[in-house]
Structures are given as structure tokens and as C-alpha cells.
Amino acid sequence: AEVNYLGQLQHPNLVKLIGYCCEEDHRLLVYEYMSSGSLENHLFRRISETLTWSRRMKIALHAAKGLAFLHDAERPVIYRDFKTSNILLDVDFNAKLSDFGLAKDGPMGDQTHVSTRVMGTYGYAAPEYIMTVSRYDEKNSIFLVKLLGHLTARSDIYGFGVVLLEMLIGRKALDKSRPSHEHNLVDWARPLLTHEKKCLKILDPRMDGQYLPKAAIKVANLAHKCISQNPKGRPTVSHIVQVLESL
């Protein structure tokens, strides 16, 4: 899947596939070298240089542009695994989306969604994508429960919102080391994002003094819309790009 997508889709904010090798049971993909590693490393691992507000917003914009290219392609592509470890950075902190192993063709024509086996990363996956579907087996008198995800471009937007929250707050999407009510970043942060004073208090203290409160609130409001429980309440990625470009 990855070779197919990256062979056809080329964009400044998608990692470039240089080549691949398939010999017996050995399979190898060769990408361009991204010298600054992943966004995850810079946010959550001890690296001497902390990501500034301006760099975080630059990374968010680049990631959104990469996602917009996928969603707006002639045959739309749903990324399906938008998370900090899949956003890679070059020496100038330009961001590119990587790892297209879970990417899937989006709905076409009159289709509203694609039904698919649930894959991805818990904490970033949209609620409608990980919903359960049950069927009663009369012969054995039991309910058969399986995960059948309703996948749309708005599923990717939810993942983008989670990553944007991680960049704003400096916390992981899931963190069991915190008090139980703070394990899930989205559940904990969602009610705080709509109150300006509370919102400003939970922002990553490593960015203190680097942003205008008005700009931070604007990004927080964007993140809040992206993580809406209702897929139709989430913005398009084109709108996300517009908001981030206006900062």
C-alpha cells in the first residue's frame, strides 16, 4: 500500500520515497533522510532544544498542507494514522507526513464513508471510526461484536486535532502516568478549551512568553472543533490551513 501511494503522490509535505526492495521475505522502503526526527521526539523526549511556539505552528501548517493534498487528490486518500510519530522534520523543521501503510482510498461519488476494519492508533482515532457493531447469532444465542469503522476525511481531522492539542499543551494523547481523569488528553482538555482563562492556563509552559493570547485561543478553538464528537462539526483541512496561515 505504501509503495502505491507514495509512488503516485508527491508533495513538499509528504515524505519522499526514494526506492524499495522486495526479495523473498525481505521488504525494504528507502525514504529521504529527515535529520530532525519526529515531532513526537521533540515534544515528549528530552532534547536540548524545546520547540518554540512559532516552530510548532509551522509544523502544524505543513502537516495540514500535506493532509490537504491527500484529501483533495483526484482520488481522495484517507491517511488513517495521523499522529506525532508520523510527522517527520528536516534540518529547518519543515514537516512531512510519513508512514502510509494504513492509508486508504476515500469515498467516491455518492458514498458518504468507507467501512473498513479498524486500524490505527488508540487516542488519535475518531469515535465514529472505532465504534462497535453487534449482530445477534440466533443459532448460538450470542451477540457477535466486531469493530467496523466508518471512515471519512473527517476521521483524519480528529487525529489532526489530537496532534494540535499535544503541541499546544505539551502532553501525550494517552498518558497513564497522570491522574486517572487526565489519562486521555482529549477527554480532559475538551471542556477547558472553550474557557479562555482555563485554556491559557493549560498551555505548555515551555512556550511562555512566545505567543499572543489571542493567537493561542484561536488555535485552541480550532483544535476544539477538530475533536468534535460529531464528524460534521469538524472543519475541512482546507479551512484548517486557512486558519493556521492567518496566525
Residues recognised as catalytic? 81
Cell output for 66:
500535506
Q: Which residues contact 18 (CB under 8 A, 6 or more apart)?
A: 30, 31, 32
The CA distances from residue 132 to 7, 102, 119, in Å, are: 34, 20, 13
230: Cα separation from own chain's centroid: 17
Rounded Cα distance, 223 and 243, in Å: 11
Q: Which residues contact 135 (CB under 8 A, 6 or more apart)?
A: 143, 144, 146
Q: Greatest CA separation found in the chain?
A: 65
Q: Which residues contact 24 (CB under 8 A, 6 or more apart)?
A: none
Rounded Cα distance, 114 and 117, in Å: 10
